[in-house]
């Protein structure tokens, strides 16, 4: 079975000029946690997840103790709201990943599962001739495998 057989063809995405605000609105409106960022030719130029946003709004207190580097998360709600406010109008590409793991539309499902597991990612955009044509999540692969085994 190929990626094209189980991929979701309706992909929520944002354009390369969109802001973090637009990303968060899509996250909320569609109950999703990550989006490909595409150019005018629908080619993937980045990927932004809720984790990317968390890294920018979480307050850190970094320190080096001996040979170890520690990060202590500090809770400060007032400052967090300010940090969120400060990033809303940033271009999404500023905090997105630029090196996006993708798979080809004709990739075997077993290979898709290996990519998702090895790279420890939740979704992989599917491309055909460099153009975004779908997306596959870990849940999509698990549902497919479960149905195959139980039928």
Contact 126, 133 (CB under 8 A): yes
Q: How far apart are CA 36 and CA 56, in angstroms?
A: 18
- Could you tell me which residue, 81 or 133, shows the higher pLDDT? 133
pLDDT digits (tens, 9 = 90+) for 35-81: 999 999 999 999 999 999 988 787 554 444 444 544 444 455 557 77
Q: Among candidates 41, 13, 11, 48, which has minimal Cα distance to 131?
A: 41
Containing 134, the helix (H) or strand (E) segment is strand 131-137
Query: Confidence class of residue 118 from pLDDT cuts 50, 70 and 90?
Result: very high
Boundaries of every domain in the chain: 3-150
Q: What is the mean pLDDT of residues 97-124?
A: 96
Q: What is the CATH number of domain 3-150?
A: 3.10.580.10
Q: Where are the beta strands (DSSP E) in 6-120?
A: 14-15, 34-38, 44-49, 60-65, 68-73, 103-104
Query: Confidence class of residue 87 from pLDDT cuts 50, 70 and 90?
Result: confident
Q: What is the mean pLDDT of residues 9-36?
A: 97
Q: What is the mean pLDDT of residues 88-95?
A: 93
Q: How far apart are CA 100 and CA 138, in angstroms?
A: 16
Q: How far apart are CA 23 and CA 75, in angstroms?
A: 24
Q: Cβ contacts of residue 130 below 8 Å, gap of 6+?
A: 43
Containing 74, the helix (H) or strand (E) segment is none
Containing 131, the helix (H) or strand (E) segment is strand 131-137
Q: How far apart are CA 100 and CA 45, in angstroms?
A: 8
């Amino acid at each position: 079975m190929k990626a094209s057989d189980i991929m979701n063809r309706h992909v929520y995405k944002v354009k390369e000029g969109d802001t973090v605000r637009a990303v968060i609105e899509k996250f909320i409106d569609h109950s999703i946690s990550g989006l490909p960022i595409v150019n005018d030719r629908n080619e993937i130029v980045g990927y932004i997840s809720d984790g990317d946003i968390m890294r920018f709004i979480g307050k850190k207190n970094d320190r080096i103790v001996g040979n170890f580097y520690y990060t202590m998360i500090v809770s400060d709600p007032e400052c967090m709201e300010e940090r969120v406010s400060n990033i809303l109008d940033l271009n999404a590409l500023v905090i997105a990943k630029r090196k996006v793991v993708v798979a080809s539309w004709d990739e075997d499902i077993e290979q898709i599962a290996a990519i998702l597991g090895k790279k420890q990612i939740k979704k992989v955009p599917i491309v055909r001739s460099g153009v975004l044509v779908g997306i596959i999540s870990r849940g999509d692969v698990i549902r497919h495998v479960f149905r195959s085994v139980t039928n």
